Amino acid sequence: MSIIIDLNSDVGESFGAWTLGDDARVLDYVTSANIACGFHAGDPQVMLQTVRLAHDRDVAVGAHPGYPDLVGFGRRAMACSPQEVYAFCLYQIGALAAICQAEGVRLGHVKAHGALYNQSAKDVTIARALVQATRDAAPGLILLGLPGSRHETAARELGVPFAAEAFADRAYERDGSLVARSRAGSVLHDPQEVADRVVRMVREQTIETAEGASLHLHADSICVHGDNPAALAIVERVRQALDGAGVRVGPLRDVLSL
């Protein structure tokens, strides 16, 4: 049996006159696009263009809802109630779903952005709001999130398909959490090192922690970035390494056998 893994990236993060990232290029390498939905980044035209870019490359489209915080890029924790989170996730997913509908594209998954990702990973009431919106916005959406976190708990509870993601370029602690960005060595920059780690993650379901121990890690998808040339160099190398190792890079739906 061949191994299959999804590669996902956050795209569509431009806004109005402002461009962020090189979506056309990163979408050449990944199989899932998490498209910003206008609250922390993205605007309706950017969303439409990004859906088209993904569709042209046969990349699966997902919604990437975030907090209503444009100036903070959705990275600042906000004390929103579960009711608020539910409603604004539904809103954002629906906005993208209509754009997909117009382009003849199936909306396939949802991944929370930034502080919403982090808060829903820790707080099950926020996670449930996110998962309920995922379940209610359209039938069959997959939640893409952090394995072992409240993302997974809430998705299992509510019967929403869950896909686990790992981070190509981040150092891990022994408990499977990410080393805080404030610590030295938390983010890896060498393309070959990252590519080697990803191949090992996928083939052996293990990763070496910051302290050198071996950690079991199951991932359905690997998150990569395309917001600068160095990030793109990593994506390219990761994709080549996976292809070279005989790993099939394919959409979440195939990984989860849905």
Q: Which positions lie near its own copies, rule CB under 8 A? A: 13-20, 38, 41, 43-45, 47-48, 68-73, 75-80, 83-84, 87-88, 90-99, 101-102, 115, 133, 136-138
SS3 198: helix
Distance in Å, CB of 104 to its own copies, minimum: 10
Distance in Å, CB of 33 to its own copies, minimum: 17
Nearer of residues 141 and 249 to its own copies, judged by Cβ: 141
Nearer of residues 32 and 92 to its own copies, judged by Cβ: 92
Query: Between β-strands 142-145 and 107-110, what pairing exists: parallel, antiparallel or unpaired?
Result: parallel
Nearer of residues 76 and 174 to its own copies, judged by Cβ: 76
Distance in Å, CB of 152 to its own copies, minimum: 22
Query: Between β-strands 162-167 and 221-224, what pairing exists: parallel, antiparallel or unpaired?
Result: parallel
Residue with tokens 């060498």: 190
SS3 63: strand
Distance in Å, CB of 17 to its own copies, minimum: 4
Nearer of residues 29 and 73 to its own copies, judged by Cβ: 73
> Can you tell me the distance from the alpha carbon of 110 to that of 95, in angstroms, rounded to the nearest whole number?
13
**Do the beta carbons of residue 3 and residue 248 sit within 8 Å?**
yes
Distance in Å, CB of 6 to its own copies, minimum: 24
> Can you tell me the distance from the alpha carbon of 26 to that of 236, in angstroms, rounded to the nearest whole number?
8
CA atoms within 13 A on the CB side of 2: 12
Nearer of residues 78 and 188 to its own copies, judged by Cβ: 78
